[in-house]
Structure 1
Amino acid sequence: MTEQTTVRNTTWDELQVGDEASVERTASAQDFYLFAHVTGNINPANLPGNEGAQPLAPSMWIGSLISAVLGNRLPGPGTLYRVQNLAFHERVHLGEKLIASVRCTQKGEKPLATFETRVTKEGGALVAEGIAEIEAPIETIVADARQLPELILDEHDHFGKLVAIAAQLPPLPTAVVSPDDHNSLGGAVLSARKGLIIPILIGDRVAIEKAAQELGVDISGYRLIEIESHRAAAAKAVELVHSGEARAVMKGNIHSDELLGQVVKKEGGLRGSRRISHTFVMDVPTLDHLLFISDAAINIAPDLLTKVDITQSAIDLAIACGIKEPRVGVLSAVETVNVNIPSTLDAAVLSKMAERGQIQGGIVDGPLAMDNAIDMEAARTKGIASLVAGRAEILVVPNLEAGNMLAKELTFVARAEAAGLVLGAKAPVMLTSRADDDRARLASAALAQLYDYWRRNGRAFEPAEQTVADAAE
């Protein structure tokens, strides 16, 4: 059967008493959420996810189905309402199938017409009924059967689950460098309240206390080391890690270069055996899993050996977050090896190295373009047979520019939330942007908790089952 691409209306002259039409619709959670957004009606009785009984369909949403019949089917495009009255007889629950129908009962003076309107459940139970008086179109209109653009709803809260899991671990002593503004101090305090960290505040006491006063928070219970210089504060944070007083570092209101300069220095820094890299962890509304992107903040133009460390570190973090065998897509502009595009050669080598056990813990494939790394249909269309294509959980980017643009596009265009962690050092470093909100810092603290546990125990933390139900508030 050919899909209908146009809709033709029925003009007033063509309309006959007794003409009827109907549409079917199943009440979905998205319908209820969108109705709440459009109307501002946030009655908890109509919203999924609230405690108590199963949500009921908003009555006026039910009534709007009648409008859809009149505007799309009979008389169709060009129809305008004059009057609609409705009596509601039965409630509708999430998942129930409804049939909205109209029948012309009278034609008045051109262009007026009267319709009997009804909404019933699939089994015939009457939900609503009433009378509609409309202005029928007087000219023929042939309109495109429009496919409305897909709406993205934030249905997943992966960060909330991470925070709930990490909160079961003992709080992580954390050196917070220069938390002297609203965002950085607020994130540290929130992470402490959630039981993720024990903050050691390092920086200008006057500025930190002023930020606390503006936030309305009490920091008297936290250790505060007074150091005015940002560079010296970063050096002190590194020193606390070496002494064992801190097991993680959190970036505050300080430039990343100043903090990283102390982390990566050869003498007295936090370098480990592996090249230091950064991984963004993204909570993307359209994905049912976390997305890891590396490296988008530290290594500008990584060579092959650096990419080996970047890939291995990202796999380790994903495993620490509970992904048993992460799928890694090594990105390039194309999905075939091209000697003129060096990143495709690196991707192919990384894939083979993983196959030979030189990169462990994940399934690595590349080169992959962004579309066929993330979208299964795109991978099928291009005939790519792979355990990774279409379902990558980790994306290894060719260089910092590509990774940074990808992460920020997801954040500002796709409304993804981003957290981040520096890996490969002797302690996890939370390298959040100074513009990041409290939630990004909270999620980064959860990542640090889980990664620290993995480093110390060689396995991912296994939470008590009931905690994941209490995701972020």
Structure 2
Amino acid sequence: MQIPATPSKYDRLIAAAQAEVPPVTLVVHPCDETSLRGAMEAAAAGLIVPILVGPEARIRAVAAQCGLDLGGTEIVDAPHSHAAAAQAVAMIRAGRGELLMKGSLHTDELMREVTDKQTGLRTARRISHVFVMDVPGHEETLFITDAAINIFPDLDDKRDIVQNAIDLWTAILRTKPRVAILSAVETVTTKIPSTLDAAALCKMAERGQITGGLLDGPLAFDNAIDPEAARIKGIDSEVAGHAQILVVPDLEAGNMLAKNLTFLTHADAAGLVLGARVPIILTSRADPVRARMASCAAAALYAAACRRTIKVAAE
């Protein structure tokens, strides 16, 4: 008798999202097979209800060429990628959707519309990116932030980056996360500015400027995720050795860390942009199907949590 495989971290994430009402998702310029197939597969799995925004004739041509049935999927015609991004953002502002999903346009093109001061989706919170990592052999889901948006964040930016990640973890996993503020060392030194930021962020959490998570830092990567490394260094905290959210000093460090895990341990990396009015699903042509589905699942769970918060506030 074959013993069924244990569901992966992503499998559990997707199953949880399928139990929620799928959010209306504006898919911006899905004009290649990868982006269009990703949206339609997520719809077929019950994760999202897509509205495709872009040149209709081109979208239908891609669907026909790739054997994709668009069925009754709504398409909002826009002549090119820039117009599609602007139209999708305008529709979010008008309450037509709960999520944005990047299609085959450049990330910068979409984010330029999102961050426009007059017509975009800015909030008081700094916009940041979170990788939701499924690392083989590691028991828990790992978040890495920010490895895609903020190049050299200052302390105020990092406060928002941390809070965005905590809010996402709380929304989709419904526990209080352990947050490691990473640096090269685990001691505070003026020679490494990121250690000063780490210490300040931990104090900010103590004073209620960051809420919902347990913070510790500075921590090096090894003693953030490995209990034995933390024990050898004599670090005794609830976070050290058991971190769930890894906050990197800058984009370069985060990008290298996420890609090292992806290519050396064959980890999957789903991704979301947070801090705007709605979550934004960022997918890459190199993403496997599981990662694209997990990105949609994480965003759908976040949208469902927002719905519950609004309902409670209204009551």
TM-score, normalised with respect to structure 1: 0.64
The RMSD of aligned alpha carbons is 1.4
Quick one: which of 229, 235, 239 aligns to 2:80?
229
Aligned position for 2:21: 170
Q: RCO greater where, 1 or 2, for CA within 8 Å and sep 6 or more?
A: 2
Quick one: which of 263, 275, 284 aligns to 1:424?
275
Distance in 2 (CA, whole Å) between partners of 1:277 and 1:375 is: 26
Give 1:228 shift.
2.7
Query: 1:285 corresponds to which letter in structure 2?
Result: P
User: 1:218 aligns to what SS in structure 2?
Assistant: coil
CA deviation profile, 1:218-238 (whole Å, cap 9, x unmatched): 113101112131111111110
User: 1:14-163 counterparts in 2 under 5 A?
Assistant: 45=1, 47-49=2-4, 157-163=8-14
CA deviation profile, 1:272-328 (whole Å, cap 9, x unmatched): 110111111001112111100111111110000000000011000001112411000
Give aligned pairs, total: 310
Q: In 2, are the aligned partners of 1:313 and 1:424 still within 8 Å (CA)?
A: yes
User: 1:321 aligns to what SS in structure 2?
Assistant: helix
Distance in 2 (CA, whole Å) between partners of 1:315 and 1:367 is: 18
Query: 2:151 corresponds to which letter in structure 1?
Result: I
Of Structure 1 and Structure 2, which has the larger fraction of its residues in helix?
A: 2
Aligned position for 2:300: 449
User: 1:280 aligns to what SS in structure 2?
Assistant: strand
Distance in 1 (CA, whole Å) between partners of 2:233 and 2:7 is: 29
Tell whether 2:292 aligns with 1:337: no
User: 1:250 aligns to what SS in structure 2?
Assistant: strand
Distance in 1 (CA, whole Å) between partners of 2:61 and 2:118 is: 35
Aligned position for 1:252: 103
Distance in 1 (CA, whole Å) between partners of 2:109 and 2:29 is: 11
Query: 1:48 corresponds to which letter in structure 2?
Result: I
Quick one: which of 13, 38, 60 aligns to 1:187?
38
What 5-or-longer segments of structure 1 have no aligned partner? 1-44, 51-154, 460-473
Aligned position for 2:60: 209
Give 1:452 shift.
1.3
Report % sequence identity. 55
Query: 2:3 corresponds to which letter in structure 1?
Result: P
Give 1:202 shift.
1.1
Tell whether 2:252 aligns with 1:401: yes
User: 1:370-389 counterparts in 2 under 5 A?
Assistant: 370-389=221-240
Give 1:156 shift.
5.6
User: 1:328 aligns to what SS in structure 2?
Assistant: strand
Based on CA coordinates, which of the two structures has the bigger radius of gyration? Answer: 1
Tell whether 2:175 aligns with 1:220: no
User: 1:367 aligns to what SS in structure 2?
Assistant: strand
Question: Runs ≥4 in structure 1, deviation > 3 angstroms?
Answer: none
Q: In 2, are the aligned partners of 1:156 and 1:285 still within 8 Å (CA)?
A: no
Q: In 2, are the aligned partners of 1:171 and 1:198 still within 8 Å (CA)?
A: yes
User: 1:318 aligns to what SS in structure 2?
Assistant: helix
User: 2:173 aligns to what SS in structure 1?
Assistant: coil
CA deviation profile, 1:137-158 (whole Å, cap 9, x unmatched): xxxxxxxxxxxxxxxxxx6611
CA deviation profile, 1:351-390 (whole Å, cap 9, x unmatched): 1111222110000000000000011111111111111011
Distance in 2 (CA, whole Å) between partners of 1:340 and 1:316 is: 32
Tell whether 2:117 aligns with 1:266: yes
Aligned position for 1:287: 138
Tell whether 2:263 aligns with 1:308: no
CA deviation profile, 1:226-262 (whole Å, cap 9, x unmatched): 2131111111110110111111100011110001011
CA deviation profile, 1:160-208 (whole Å, cap 9, x unmatched): 1111111111111110011111211111001101111111111122332
Aligned position for 2:199: 348
User: 1:421 aligns to what SS in structure 2?
Assistant: strand
Of Structure 1 and Structure 2, which has the larger fraction of its residues in strand?
A: 1
Query: 1:49 corresponds to which letter in structure 2?
Result: P
Distance in 2 (CA, whole Å) between partners of 1:287 and 1:458 is: 32
What 5-or-longer segments of structure 2 have no aligned partner? 311-315
Distance in 2 (CA, whole Å) between partners of 1:336 and 1:321 is: 32
Q: In 2, are the aligned partners of 1:178 and 1:251 still within 8 Å (CA)?
A: yes
